A and B are shown apart, each in its own frame.
Chain A
Amino acid sequence: MNRQLELLISIQNLELMLRDAEDADNSAEMETMGLKVDTEKIKADLEAQIQEIEPRERGYFNRIKNRVDNPVVAVWDGHCTGCFAGVPTSFSSVANENKVLHCESCGRILFIP
Chain B
Amino acid sequence: MDIKDVFELASPDLFIPELEATNKQDALAEMVDKLVDSDHQISNRETVLQMLLSREQLGSTAIGPGVAFPHGRALATQDLIVVIARSSKGIDFDSTDGKPTNLFFMLVAPPQDSGNQYLGALAALVEKMQDDSLRDAFLNADEFDSAFKALTGEE
Contacts and interface: CB of A to CB of B under 8 A. Distances in A.
B74 to A, nearest CB: 6
B58 A45 contact: yes
Interface in A60-82: 70, 72-74, 76
Nearest to B126: A33
B3 interface: no
B59 interface: yes
Contacts, number: 86
A35 interface: yes
B44 A112 contact: yes
A98 interface: no
Interface stretch (A36-44, A50-58, A83-91): A36-44
B33 to A, nearest CB: 15
Contacts of B114: none
Assign chain A's interface to a size class: 20 to 34
A29 B123 contact: yes
A84 B116 CA distance: 22
Contacts of A70: 111
A35 B47 contact: no
B73 A35 contact: no
B46 A6 contact: yes
Interface string B49-68: 01100110111010100000
Contacts of A106: none
Nearest to B61: A35
B122 A9 contact: no
A37 B43 contact: no
B144 interface: no
Interface-centre pick from A14, A38, A74 (highest chain B CB count, 10 A): A74
Contacts of B47: 1, 6, 9-10, 13, 111, 113
